[in-house]
Structure 1
Amino acid sequence: MIKVMIVDDSAVVRSMLREQLGSEPDIEVVGVAHDPLFALQKLDTLCPDVLVVDVEMPRMDGLTFLRQLMQQKPIPTIVFSSLAEQGSAIALDAMDAGAVAILCKPGMGVGQFIQEQRAQLVQTVRQAAGARLRGVGRRAAESALVIPPRNALVVNQTTDAIVALGTSTGGTRALEYLLSRLPRDCTGLVIVQHMPANFTRQFAERLDAVCAIEVREARDGDRVMPGRALIAPGGLHLSVRRNGAQYQVQVQDGPPVSRHKPSVDVLFRSLAQTAGRNAAGVIMTGMGDDGARGLKAMREAGALTLAQDEASCVVFGMPKEAIRLGAVEHVCSLDEIPLRIAHFGQKV
């Protein structure tokens, strides 16, 4: 049984969530709390596997509670708030504080919304229950040395090498950890992080502020070059095409692939076709199997393929499936991945 605790100052929301989640055969709502301070008093007794937490609450706000929780007693936490709309600073703050998922609560008609979105709610709780929070809370400044640059960055140079990263649940913090350790002249990167529309631009801006490399949301036709990471816009697919000696990204709409848009499989398959052995593919923390088949295509085309190991993943689903398919050449900890990809394919 997945033991869930609900922390929300609305009695209506607590009641509706309890009813919808408690009706599932594998979920038990072990407790509710009207504010975080009361919740903290009950955690040791109830031992929940997952928390569902609002942001606006009396005595302590949900983000302060989340930060304190992750320092003292990490528990997979879903933020369920009307403030956490797509692309909002609150949503990004919640993910940065350690939330494993964000669900936006409507300002009105919450009861009807919870009923209509029951499947998504239940799936999110199940995914959160499988999250591994051990070691996730380390900030960039608390870890090993950043890889030093080999030389100054020349932004107008081209490269025959390219690195692609695919990630989902737990990926926002893993990407910050990884990208902040790359030197300014690292091989160009393209990234799919499962995110909704209007979210990725602010996420990229946050990463850009803490990284030596340039990080930004990809635009159709952008060049992939050393020292630059391009992140797929939420709600659109990202692929790579060859233009002479250069790589350019293609940003396009289309149906979901492997149940996602953007899809890691779309990105990886494009690299299998356009880059072959000049590419490296890295599949990281996330739920489901998106990217596994695309990574296998990359490996069959001669690319270097890596998977994040179980110990450093929040959710081991995506890497596990890729390993099962034989798509992975090396399994690496999150600490090892920057070392593996920093100067991939570059001539000394």
Structure 2
Amino acid sequence: MERKKIKVLIVDDSALIRTLLTALLNEDRRLEVVGTANDPFEAREKIKQLSPDVITLDIEMPKMNGIVFLKNLMRLRPMPVVMISTLTQAGAPATLEALEIGAIDYVAKPQGDDPHALEQYGKNICEKVFWAAKANVAHFSQTSEPKKSRVTMSGRAKAGFICAIGASTGGTEAIKCVVSALPEHAPPIVIAQHIPAAFSQSFAKRVDACSAVSVHEAAHQQPIEAGHVYLAPGHSHLRIRRAGSGYVCMLDDGPEINRHRPSVEPLFDSVNAAAGKLAVGVMLTGMGADGAQALLRLKERGAFTIVQDEQTSVVWGMPGAAYKLGAASAMLPLEKISAEIIKHACK
């Protein structure tokens, strides 16, 4: 029996983009574009008529912008949404806000007419729409709750302790939830989140604004200190190395690893080499399996490892892959991860 296709509604004010996205998405046998709308008012009617499984939504539109429409949609009829964004620093705040409201993922507006680039773009958007249909839409109501109280430390962190976090789809909000609950003098945290280069600085500032710890986009050879969180820039792998009794950040723009740069795998492996059993490794929500094998290597070295549970993950790809490998010392809901990190830091 043929599997039922995922029904997609495209919402964009550009006729050219609607036509192009329709052609690209219909190339994938798992997907079917059931309709298009040129503004949110038309989209509202098409949603009632067509009951799509996923919407692609432009941010910049006349009559009502995508952010306002997304807020209304998530309040009245929560469903998977993939934002069509401008992947520039100017476009970052609106896209990050969309993820905060409840969008599952985002993809760039298609540009240029290079056939190879367009083919790759098509594969990318099809994969994101496919996974969005499987995503846990309830996540946005959990991450949008009023901020919970911060975790307290029962004593000083062990000398040399460090925590490494990996994440992808749904990770911007999951990271914000974990980091904003940390106490001011928390041990150092290093993070690899799959994110475009133009977004990582805005993302670091966004998390910093709601946290007691200081959150930075990591810089090459930057010393790693307690009370600070270091996020891999969107254009570089982040690794750490020993420097005396502490650690420093090391960046490189070498080839993609597991189709990503930054990738979770080199971060976890460098933490394994530099800190071993003094580390805690955490795998949060994300599509794919990047970092799963590296988390297993951390656990085998004696580090404590955590994966986010399926119920609170937007996409249980990366944490699920790690769990199935036996790479998790513990599987926890998102809201309990911060306290677990601090507990192991102070043992």
Normalising by structure 2, we get a TM-score of: 0.91
Contact 1:87 1:199 in 2 (8 A): no
Percent identity over paired residues: 38
Match of 1:32 among 36, 44, 48: 36
Structure 2 contact 100–144 (Cα < 8 Å) conserved? no
Displacement of 1:243: 1.4
Q: Report SS of the residue matched to 1:145.
A: coil
Residues 306 and 329 in structure 2, CA contact (< 8 A), matched pair in contact too: yes
State which drifts further: 223-232 or 286-295.
223-232
Question: In 2, distance between residues paired with 1:320 and 1:112?
Answer: 32
Question: Greater shift after overlay, 221-230 or 301-310?
Answer: 221-230
Q: Structure 1 stretch 169-178 or stretch 3-12: which is displaced more?
A: 3-12
Alignment partner, residue 317 of structure 1 = 317
- Kindly state the Cα deviation for residue 184 of structure 1 after the two structures are TM-superposed: 0.6
Q: Which residue of 2 aligns with 1:287?
A: 287
CA RMSD of aligned residues (A): 2.4
Between the aligned partners of 1:107 and 1:245, the Cα distance in structure 2 is: 48
Q: Deviations over 1:116-151 (max 9, x none)?
A: 622222122112222212133345662532224668
Whichever residue aligns with residue 28 of structure 1, its letter is: E
1:128-207 residue pairs with structure 2 within 5 A?
128-139=132-143, 142-148=146-152, 159-207=159-207
Tell me the equivalent position of 1:20.
24
In structure 2, give the amino acid aligned to 1:118: G
2:89/2:202 contact within 8 Å kept = no
Does the aligned pair in 2 maintain the 1:159–1:225 contact within 8 Å?
Answer: no
Query: How do 1:83-98 residues align onto structure 2 when only pairs under 5 Å count?
Result: 83-85=86-88, 88=91, 89-98=93-102
Structure 1: tracts of 5 or more residues without a match: none
Contact 1:159 1:226 (8 Å CA) reproduced: no
Name the residue aligned to 2:299.
299
Normalising by structure 1, we get a TM-score of 0.91
Tell me the secondary structure at the aligned position of residue 338 of structure 2. Answer: helix
CA distance in 1, matches of 2:144, 2:133: 26
User: 1:7 touches 1:39 (CA, 8 Å); kept in 2?
Assistant: yes
Give the AA of the match of 2:23: E
Shift of 1:209: 0.8
Identify if the C-alpha distance between structure 1 residues 28 and 211 changes in structure 2 by more than 3 Å, giving closer, same or farther.
same
CA distance in 2, matches of 1:310, 1:180: 21
> Counterparts of 2:222 and 2:154 in 1: how far apart (Å)?
25
SS at match of 1:235: coil
Structure 1 residues 135, 101: closer, same or farther in 2, change over 3 A?
closer
Q: SS at the partner of 1:212?
A: coil
CA distance in 2, matches of 1:39, 1:319: 34
Match of 1:9 in 2: 13
The question of 1:73 aligning with 2:73 is answered: no
* Residue pair 1:140, 1:176 contacting (<8 A) in 2 also: no
Query: What is the letter of the counterpart of residue 71 of structure 1?
Result: R
SS in 2 for 1:142: coil
User: Number of residues paired by the alignment?
Assistant: 342
Q: Secondary structure at the match of 2:139?
A: coil
Name the SS for the 2:177 alignment partner: helix
* 2:87–2:199 Cα contact (<8 Å) kept: no
Query: Which stretch of structure 1 is more off in the superposition, 222-231 or 95-104?
Result: 95-104
